[in-house]
Amino acid sequence: MHYRRLGRTALQVSELCLGTMNFGPQTPEDESFAIMDRAIELGINFFDTANRYGGDKGAGATESIIGRWFAQGGGRRDKIVLATKLFGAMSEWPNDGRLSARHIKMACEDSLQRMQTDHIDLYQMHHVDRTAPWEEIWQAMDTLIQQGKITYVGSSNFAGWHIARANEAATRLRTLGLVSEQSHYNLLVRTVELEVLPACREYGVGVIPWSPLSGGLLGGVLGDSDRARRQSPQSLKRIDKLRPKLEQWEKLCGDLGEDPAAVALAWLLAQDGVTCPIIGPRTLGQLDGASLRSLEITLAPDTLTAIDAIFPGPGGTAPEAYAW
């Protein structure tokens, strides 16, 4: 396993981040424990979750599973860079969501309790709150940092100008600001290349792509009839719509002799500013499969050009992508 600095910080995180959203609703607790144990064995030291994760098990269920895994001991917590997120409503009460100072404090306390730990390494805002002043947000976050309850602050699903405003406010307030941004980024969704990635590079913010395989569409879905049959009706419609591109994609990967999922992850790791994509295995086999192979793949320039021809990006950074 190789490690990269998270943005401009000195913190070292693995090139793959273990996403835990499936733990509970899709993956039983014992299998979730096995996946996390295996991740440590493989050198994956970066785990991501959110207070809302849990699906039909209820919000908070995934964090609770992680907490019970930590409680087994064996140095599990000390080996992990732990990231969680807040924003979504945790109840119907009006202040039990979003990014008020009150909710930031309460959400952090609740996540710490569920995960049976005394600190969160990376505390991320799951969405921008257009009603919350940055002075209020940074005051609350800095208080948590001073109390030792969180170490770094990150964002998720922010636009480029949100990242700029957040870090300019942090500079005025003499605090560190955002160190990471989780964005929807894969070969089928490249909008972040316009302004989010350039903003992150400018401010030293590490990019953590989520949904790197676009819900499995980039993982060789055409070549796996069993996987194709398991797709939801919505996914099947997407497959039909994208079939010509997916056929070209899977042929290119076949010519390389590589699994499409591994190539898709390797492509993300080759993008300037990307720290590590989030993988979300439902089973131990998925963790041990193509994800790890991606770390060994170096894509040649002509291969990158061929990939761009199949899945063209937005045309460059802003404003060149849409202006002279």
Mean pLDDT within 114-125: 98
pTM over 0.85: yes
Which pLDDT tens digit goes with each residue over 166-191?
A: 999 999 999 999 999 999 999 999 99
Q: State the number of CA atoms in the 13 A half-sphere of 214 facing the CB.
A: 22
SS3 state at 180: strand
pLDDT at 232 over 90: no
Residue with tokens 């509970």: 24
pLDDT at 230: 63
pLDDT at 249 over 90: yes
Asked whether residue 38 is assigned to any structural domain, the reply reads yes
Residue type at 317 in one-letter notation: T
CA distance 121 to 85: 11
Which pLDDT tens digit goes with each residue over 39-58?
A: 999 999 999 999 999 999 99
Asked whether residue 254 is assigned to any structural domain, the reply reads no
Asked whether residue 317 is assigned to any structural domain, the reply reads no
What range defines the domain where residue 72 resides?
3-217+259-300
More confident residue, 288 or 78: 78
| H/E stretch holding 238 | helix 233-256
**Per the structure, how many domains does the chain have?**
1
Asked whether residue 279 is assigned to any structural domain, the reply reads yes
pLDDT at 307: 98
pLDDT at 289 over 90: no
CA–CA distances in Å: residue 190 to residues 77, 117, 152, 183: 34, 36, 26, 10
HEC profile of 267-309: HHHCCCCECCCEECCCCHHHHHCHHHHHHHCCCCHHHHHHHHH
Which pLDDT tens digit goes with each residue over 211-231?
A: 999 999 999 999 876 665 567
pLDDT at 65: 98
Asked whether residue 246 is assigned to any structural domain, the reply reads no
Q: Is the peptide bond before 28 cis (omega within 30 degrees of 0)?
A: no
Read off the tokens for 192.
């972040």
Mean pLDDT within 86-96: 88
122 contacts 93 by C-beta, under 8 angstroms? no
Instruction: Tell me which residues are annotated as active site.
Output: 53
Which pLDDT tens digit goes with each residue over 120-140?
A: 999 999 999 999 999 999 999
Asked whether residue 25 is assigned to any structural domain, the reply reads yes
Which pLDDT tens digit goes with each residue over 185-203?
A: 999 999 999 999 999 999 9
pLDDT at 227: 62
CA distance 178 to 166: 7
149 contacts 180 by C-beta, under 8 angstroms? no
Which pLDDT tens digit goes with each residue over 7-30?
A: 999 999 999 999 999 999 999 999
CA distance 153 to 265: 25
pLDDT at 291: 85
Q: Is residue 232 classed exposed, middle or buried when 0-12, 13-18 and 19+ CB atoms within 10 A define those classes?
A: exposed
pLDDT at 94: 86
pLDDT at 229: 56
Task: Provide the terminal-to-terminal Cα distance of the chain, rounded to the nearest Å.
Answer: 42
Q: State the number of CA atoms in the 13 A half-sphere of 131 facing the CB.
A: 7
pLDDT at 236: 87
Asked whether residue 28 is assigned to any structural domain, the reply reads yes
Mean pLDDT within 255-268: 97
CATH number of the domain encompassing residue 68: 3.20.20.100
The count of other CB atoms within 10 Å of the CB of residue 224 is 14
The count of other CB atoms within 10 Å of the CB of residue 257 is 6
Asked whether residue 86 is assigned to any structural domain, the reply reads yes
Q: Is residue 303 classed exposed, middle or buried when 0-12, 13-18 and 19+ CB atoms within 10 A define those classes?
A: buried
